[in-house]
Structure 1
């Protein structure tokens, strides 16, 4: 719980604005302590942050206050994607270049996209459609194995350069990895980019890291969370075993976020409170904001699940 001053600071508002939004528009309904003082939980701080960002873009608070959080998220995402209509043809154009082994054209298009597009637009409208189209073309024979590997290699190199361009050394970090037997990492890289864009210090550890080693790194760095990707259905039983080892070895209070095609199955099969399936980038961004709001408000606090 945060008092008025802390909640206002975390969401970028003044205490006066926060009280006005609350009193005149019912933007949030705070809790009260025994003395009647206002207290705000992390979800309320998240909501106030969204409202602040949208009012900064010209939306009146009176029009926003009655909307739920999902509607606010949609407005923020639509705003981020506005003005990038031509980007939708880019994945097909890039793959046409790869089909002719014009690697320089593919790499130039990708480099320009990375340099000019917001991260959420880059991942949602270039990287993920590109990966889907690679799968389709490989399945119907229009793309050879060598071409598919070219795409993966170029994407990996360029996306890692984004993460490593401005490394955030502050702690605690979010660790990104896959478990042994899971070599697929492009979806994991996309999630790491989303986390980086949301303001999290990211440490990208790559593929096939044993659970015990991952727990050791987490303890050494005081990690805020561990994010894992699991895609191959045939790997699910091994992933379950590794996740149980990770749960035993990982410090209490460190959440485990799962992405990829196996995420929901693994989370349901484990039924461990700290293990969550995260299949929506917006949900990942919200988790990160809540996680690090606590750190900003209380630098010496320990994390709770």
Structure 2
């Protein structure tokens, strides 16, 4: 009954799902350590910081009993990158779906702060601390162990009705709640995500970020290997291919959340149109946008790569 009430309250704040995991270390935390040790995180050295906290929630909050995991659907009604129409025009470029609208960090921060404030009013003796991609908690591990979804072969959390286009928020708390039942893996023998990855960045349940187009167009600041550069195609900022081809996303529910709807010029813009936007309206046209993470230099670098590829063809 308590969790049912929490789920209803979470929806009032804009979250689509809420599940609960115990605040403890899981074997997947050690997999993360192994992933970092292999160097698969590339130049994202910030992942190496506070690694002890990433591996054990009790290092984040010694009093912790539960981790409340909330998911927010950002899958708008626009076509996928793997469908013919978005990129049929050879001059069009692709921006990852999550970056079409407002920066989810800011949107979700307002929501989880308000939600945590309400939780604290209901449970004044307990502590609530929330993170969305900004703290030491590994949201995906707790999402998996809360029963919110399973980890797919594309390494994303997949929910049977909402698919994998989900932003995850983890609220670590001293409040003891009954954990939800873990969901079984429903990927089966499917390897569509692995087969579709242009740079072969995926193996089952493992991503080598150094080959991932999202990493290469957002986080990587150095020169890109020519072999990888050629395979990156029209992807300007991020990549959705491994999610776009997933069968669980073909009939998943779409969101009408205004914050995540595509801004003008952000859904499959022409190269010329977007280059003009960056050159003449940065940063004004990119206010509160995830695209600001790449900065003006990064966006122009990606545009130059795509222009070069086009000329070579």
Place the TM-score, normalised by the shorter chain, in its bin: under 0.3
TM-score when normalising by structure 1:
0.28
TM-score when normalising by structure 2:
0.27
Larger RCO: 1 or 2 (CA < 8 Å, sep 6+)? 2
Higher normalized helix content (fraction of residues): 1
